[in-house]
Amino acid sequence: MPDVDLPQIVAKQSWLAQSAALAATTIFTPTADGLFRVSAYIEVSVGSNRGPSAQMTWTDDHAAQNNSGLIGGVDTAGNWTINGNYATRAFRATNGNPIKIATTINAGSGTYDLYVVIEQLW
Tens-place pLDDT, residues 11-32: 999 999 888 889 999 999 999 9
User: What pLDDT score was predicted for residue 39?
Assistant: 93
Mean pLDDT confidence for 97-116: 86
Mean pLDDT of the chain: 83
What pLDDT does 104 receive? Answer: 85
Region for 93 from its dihedrals, namely left if φ exceeds 0, alpha if ψ lies in -120 to 50, beta otherwise: beta
pTM of the complete model: 0.83
Q: Where are the chain's structural domains?
A: 8-120
Q: Give the pLDDT band of residue 83 (cuts 50, 70, 90).
A: very low
User: Hey, what CATH topology would domain 8-120 get?
Assistant: Jelly Rolls (2.60.120)
Q: Which residues of 20-34 are buried (b: 16+ CB within 10 A; e: fewer)?
A: eebeeeebbebeeee
